[in-house]
Amino acid sequence: MRVLALLDGTLVDPEVPLLYADDPGVQRGDGIFETILVVERHPRELGPHLDRLERSARLMDLPLPERAGWQRAVQAVIDAWPWHTAPEMVLKLVCTRGADDSEQAPTGFAMGSEVSAGILRKRAEGVSAVTLERGYDPQLKDRAPWLLLSAKTLSYAVNMAALREADRRGADEVVFTATDGSVLEGPTSNVVLARGRTLLTTPPDSGILAGTTQAALFRAAEQAGWQARVESFPATELFHADGVWLVSSIRLISQVHTLDGIRLKADADLHTELTGLYESQY
């Protein structure tokens, strides 16, 4: 099931080609996107996702179409989705530069699809992960803005390759590490660890994507009396934590039960508590 809408709010047939063959988004991954969970017609964290789309566009000098267009497209997809048969929808917003000539306006669209079986399994059963080097230091982002660290660009080939490497090593997921051994993020998620009643995640300054799910979880946890800290920590900390999770919009709060082949503390009650805190906001 797929539902596709343009920024003027019109629905288009997802079977019909939409992009130009010379769109730099296709040829070079030169574009941006967001992935949003919609449950029973309610998009989660839509404002923060649209804010991040705008931030990504600014970082790569992409003239982003106005916010109202994205909101129209989101609404059109939500209105057309068969909620009675599929109560959750993965909503992708994509913006490319359009055709490879400066006259062409960017192309934007919103597409709804179903949550995959693989993601449902990760949510329910948790994941095994491996640490993999990402190859940059946590100070690089501000030194080298052309690397677009912290932008959500369409260039996810490296992230997908890392997931295939995890699969080759018999794991479901990846925790990227920086050259100083600190934890960065997953290829499509943020890393959260618990130490007592404190939650910890990596600062966006280190070049990772500022996660909307991590922010929502931390907001709820702080309201419930947890300490929530955003600071760098070494990958070795993961082995001693009271719990480790990979969090993102569609997989939600997935517990990591094994890292580099070593069983982690994966307390089921703690997992239920954090998932409950996150869900209590919606």
194 binds ligand PLP (CB under 6 A): no
Site string for ligand PLP, 247-276 (x = CB under 6 A): -xx---------------------------
Of 24 and 211, CB closest to ligand PLP: 211
190 binds ligand PLP (CB under 6 A): yes
Of 177 and 248, CB closest to ligand PLP: 248
With beta carbons less than 8 A apart as the criterion, state whether 172 and 127 touch.
yes
Which of 53, 209, 238, 241 is close enough to bind ligand PLP by CB under 6 A?
Answer: 209
Of 24 and 204, CB closest to ligand PLP: 204
Place of tokens 């017609």: 41
Strand (E) positions, 29-100? 31-39, 42-43, 88-96
189 binds ligand PLP (CB under 6 A): yes
CB of 18 to ligand PLP, least distance (A): 22
Site string for ligand PLP, 61-100 (x = CB under 6 A): ----------------------------------------
191 binds ligand PLP (CB under 6 A): no
Distances (CA, A) of 267 to 196, 230, 271: 12, 22, 6
Of 98 and 254, CB closest to ligand PLP: 254
Measured in degrees and rounded to the nearest 5, phi and psi for residue 146 equal: -70, -15
Strand (E) positions, the chain? 2-6, 11-12, 31-39, 42-43, 88-96, 107-113, 127-133, 173-177, 190-195, 198-201, 227-230, 243-248, 252-259, 262-263
Of 33 and 100, CB closest to ligand PLP: 33
Distances (CA, A) of 142 to 204, 206, 208, 260: 11, 9, 12, 31
Which of 130, 185, 235, 245 is close enough to bind ligand PLP by CB under 6 A?
Answer: 185
Which of 107, 128, 150, 188 is close enough to bind ligand PLP by CB under 6 A?
Answer: 188
Q: How far apart are CA 253 and CA 188, in angstroms?
A: 13
Which of 11, 14, 26, 35 is close enough to bind ligand PLP by CB under 6 A?
Answer: 35
Residue 200, amino acid: L
Stretch of 104-112, 120-128, 166-174, 184-192 contacting ligand PLP, by CB under 6 A: 184-192
With beta carbons less than 8 A apart as the criterion, state whether 95 and 30 touch.
no
Which pair of structure tokens corresponds to residue 104? 């062409």
Binding residues vs ligand PLP (CB under 6 A): 35, 185, 188-190, 208-209, 211-214, 248-249
